[in-house]
Structure 1
Amino acid sequence: MNSSERMAPEQVARLALAITATAEVLGQSLTADAAEMMAGDLAEYPAEVVAGALKACRRELVGKLTLAAILQRVQAADGRPGKDEAWAIAMNTNDEFETVVLTDEIQLALAAAKPVLDAGDKVGARMAFISAYERFVGQAREDAKPVNWHVSVGFDASRRIQAVTKAVEMKRIPQERGRLYLADLSVTPVTEDGRAVVALLTGEVARPSPKLRAKLAAVKTSMLEMQSASAKRKDEMRIEAANELADRRAMLVQQAKELEAMRAAQ
């Protein structure tokens, strides 16, 4: 969050009064200077988020009102998932067909845990991921950076639409950006041949041209051959799938390195 988004002076003054009133509700006497200092420290966060944090403090705290208690609730409202949900999201990138919506911190932590994950130690990879994730989230919150969700596109077109739609419903992606993603990821076949290609996958009836009919027959034959592939060929297919997954992970790691470099330059 940049300085232009800081609260206006009149908002900071109202916040100081709200902090004083909250302390009184909790049975605490707070000086005007202390309240103003706390308000100044909280001024870089959205006013409505801080107001919500103060409300949560009034309901939840049984001791004194502290800046740390307010910040804890402010930061919890920033939209970043907890460490367990973040790990589950990161593991979805193991499926190259899956479209994954993840935060900058998840991507950075996944890159940090990749060597352990590649070694086959999933328990150790989870520990390394969580340690790195909490560090990156802590730094982002200290810098008052808003959460940034972005899309890692998988091969399955239907899953792309589902992932983006869910992210919009969960308000992780703004509706306008979600519409742009869907426009980029959705391709509707408009020709008879295009519909015939879809029909091969969906089982719908279509009338392909003679030229495309021959191509579809070749594809169907190839699919049947794959179904009856030898053990050796199936092993080769598994290796090919593993290589594709490695390529996806490598791309995510490269993006994470670029993201970390941009953060360091800020």
Structure 2
Amino acid sequence: MNTSEMNDQQVAGLAAAICATAEAMGQEMNPGTAAMMAEDLCAYSVSAVKAALKACRFEVKGKLAMADILQRVQAADGRPGKDEAWAIAMTTNDEFETVVLTDEIQLALAAAKPVLDAGDKIGARMAFISAYERFVAQARGDVKPVNWHVSVGFDASRRTAAITKAVQMQRIPQERGQLYLADLSVAPVTEDGRALAGLITGEVTRPTPAVRERLQGVKASMMKMRAASAERKDEMRIEAANELADRRALLLRQVEELASGRVSHG
């Protein structure tokens, strides 16, 4: 993949910045070498490369090398480190939890799942990290931007919290977060929807009496559920298990689609 984000003028400016950085680090660099490095970095954004050059001036001891710049550009692409990625992956075990995860986390989790299902959590973690680092390296080598997506859980309130947190951490844009809420029937385009979307926007709006009545209905249903007979509870558990199986099947299809996409672009 070589989709340049810089025009010729920006590449020339970047070459000059590389020369200046090398000079600030006590090194003389041939303009032709700097131009070659700038061409190699042109698939990334100007701001990302300039931030990496600044980091090199403070952190690198010795001569400026292409590997130093590239390492810092890639580390700032928004992909979580291996330990955070594993923690995110583990939250998918709770079928009620809505999880915001990257393509690489989902692929690595699929690779580690047989070990995890066998009950070897330590081995599963090792398998996950090995696969995750491989998928991340491949994505970065292809200059593929990070892609965060939502795996929806059964608990509607947790959906709102998970998507709101993802927006706050800038993992998904605010507009996309509001669309997620709308698609999940959490934030319809009404005064009630704006009240829920206020969790993201900060705007405070009162829900209508109709929504308050619906909430009372939910509360009544919960009370009824608590009073349900043992037989009905078993039926509800079976229904929940079927829903979980459908969710896992959907996740598996997504993994297969991601994997097939990698093969076709490999």
**TM-score w.r.t. structure 1 length?**
0.83
Question: What is residue 107 of structure 2 aligned with on the other side?
Answer: 108
Deviation string 1:139-192 (CA, Å, 9 cap, x unpaired) is: 000110000000000000010011111111111101111110111220669998
Partner of 1:257: 256
For residues 128 and 82 of structure 1, what CA distance do their matches in structure 2 show? 15
Query: Secondary structure at 1:198's aligned position in 2?
Result: helix
* CA spacing shift, 1:143–1:64, aligned 2, 3 Å: same
Task: Tell me the CA shift for residue 223 of structure 1.
Answer: 2.3
Output the amino acid matched with 2:127: A
Q: Hey, what does 1:211 align to over in structure 2?
A: none
1:201-226 alpha-carbon deviations (Å, 9 max, x no partner): 447xxxxxxxxxxxx5xx74552246
TM-score scaled by length of structure 2: 0.83
If you compute each CA radius of gyration, which structure gives the higher value, 1 or 2? 1
Tell me the distance in 1 between the aligned counterparts of 2:85 and 2:156: 23
Q: Which consecutive residues of structure 1, in runs of 5 or more, have no partner in the other structure?
A: 204-215
Q: Which aligned pairs between 1:114-263 and structure 2 lie closer than 5 A?
A: 114-185=113-184, 186=186, 196=213, 198-202=215-219, 220-225=223-228, 229=230, 245=244, 247-263=246-262
CA deviation map 1:27-75 (0-9, x unaligned): 1111112111111110110011000000110111112111000001000
**Aligned partners of 2:16 and 2:223: how far apart in 1?**
72
CA distance in 1, matches of 2:49, 2:168: 24
Q: d(CA) in 1 for partners of 2:49 and 2:70? A: 8
- Structure 1 residue 132 displacement after superposition: 0.5
Q: Distance in 1 between matches of 2:212 and 2:23?
A: 68
Query: Which residue is equivalent to 1:28?
Result: 27
Cα RMSD of the aligned pairs, angstroms, is 2.7
| Structure 2 residue identity aligned to 1:199 | Q
Show the counterpart of 1:19.
18
Aligned-partner Cα distance in 1 for 2:8–2:133:
33
Mapped pair 1:78 → 2:46: no
**How many matched pairs?**
246
Give unpaired runs (5+ residues) of structure 2.
194-206
Identify the residue that residue 51 of structure 2 maps to in structure 1.
Answer: 52
Residue 96 of structure 2: SS of its match in structure 1? coil
Q: Which has the higher contact order (CA 8 A, sep 6+)?
A: 1
Conservation of the 8 A alpha-carbon contact between 1:89 and 1:100: yes
**Which stretch of structure 1 is more off in the superposition, 15-24 or 255-264?**
255-264
1:92 paired to 2:83: no
Residue identity (%) = 66
Q: Distance in 1 between matches of 2:26 and 2:224?
A: 78
Deviation at residue 247 of structure 1 after TM alignment: 4.9
